[in-house]
A = this chain, B = another copy of it.
C-alpha cells in the first residue's frame, strides 16, 4: 500500500487493469490466458498492482433497484460558515447515513457538497432530508435533482499509457 509509485505500466499491466475492472472475480488462469502470459507472472503482476495501491479493492455490484431503492437523487448542500470544523462535522454525519452513496466537495458559488443518495421512495427522501441532513449544523441550503434514468454508472477508469 505505497501511494508513491513511479508508475510504469507495460501492456500486460494495462490489460490486467482493464480486465479486472470489468470482471473483478476473474480467475488468475483466465486472466493470464487473456493477456497472453502464463499464470505465474500474471499473478505476480496482479499482486504487485494490489500492493502498490493502484488497485484499491474489489466490489460486488448490487442492483439497488431490486433491493427496493427505487429513487436516486443528487442533493446539493450549501454551508453557512466555511470553517474546517463545520466541514469535518458535516462529512462525519453524512458518512454515517447508509443511504448516502457518495459525497463530493465541489466548486460552486451556492454549493459546497453534492451527495448522491438512494432511498425507497419520496417518503424516504423526505425523511432522510428533514430528519438527517437539514439538521446538521452549518447546513444552510439544500437543493435536489432526481435521477430520471441512470444511463450508465460505475464505469472503469480508462487505462491508456
Contacts and interface: CB of A to CB of B under 8 A. Distances in A.
Interface of A: 3, 5, 7, 17, 20-25, 52-64, 66-69, 72, 74, 91, 94-95, 98-108, 111, 113-114, 118, 145-161
B62 A156 contact: yes
Contacts of A54: 62-63, 66-67
14 contacts: A21-B62, A23-B57, A24-B58, A24-B59, A52-B66, A55-B61, A56-B61, A57-B60, A62-B157, A74-B114, A101-B157, A102-B154, A103-B152, A105-B150
Given A102-B153, A105-B147, A105-B148, 8 more contacts: A7-B67, A17-B60, A20-B60, A55-B63, A57-B60, A57-B61, A59-B156, A98-B160
Contacts of A111: 145
Main secondary structure on chain A at its contact with chain B? Answer: mixed
A127 to B, nearest CB: 14
Contacts of A64: 157
Contacts of A108: 145
Closest 4 CB pairs of A and B: A24-B58, A98-B158, A20-B60, A103-B151
Contacts of A157: 62, 64, 67, 69, 101, 118
Given A74-B104, A147-B106, A148-B107, A25 B58 contact: yes
A152 B102 contact: yes
Contacts of A159: 62, 67
